[in-house]
Amino acid sequence: QVQLVESGGGLVQTGGSLRLSCTASGSIFSIDAMAWYRQAPGKQRELVARIFSESRTNYADSVKGRFTISRDSAERTVFLQMNSLGPEDTAVYYCNVESRVVTGNSGALRYVISWGQGIQVTVSS
């Protein structure tokens, strides 16, 4: 019911920048929060940054001051601007959306957590 399309990953040198985008579509009534997670090889998936409907944000300590999350509510898109990248940022990055979707003919709302397919970010030293 919710589709997420991610873009913007790739290969960058240490100190470089990348901007990730994720657009949500489907039977969405409202979006509570949008976030980016990442998973490096051999490690657990971890929260990178999250932005709530009222634009409040939180970040992992490891990315504070380097990454910025923002959203375009009208376009249902979340961005992650990543600056001063280092090899430790190499991972697959996943978009995550918490939304309420319309279900059935009654128009009832259901809380749904959706994940993107993941996008590779590689930082070379």
For tokens 């992650």, what's the residue?
A: 80
Helix (H, G, I), strand (E, B) or coil at 63: helix
Q: What is the pLDDT of residues 46-91, one digit of tens each?
A: 999 999 988 899 999 999 999 999 999 888 999 999 999 999 999 9
DSSP state of 91: E
User: Could you tell me which residue, 104 or 84, shows the higher pLDDT?
Assistant: 84
104 in Cβ contact with 91 (< 8 Å): no
Distance CA 7, CA 86 (A): 20
- Give the number of C-alpha atoms closer than 13 A to the C-alpha of residue 50, restricted to the C-beta side: 13
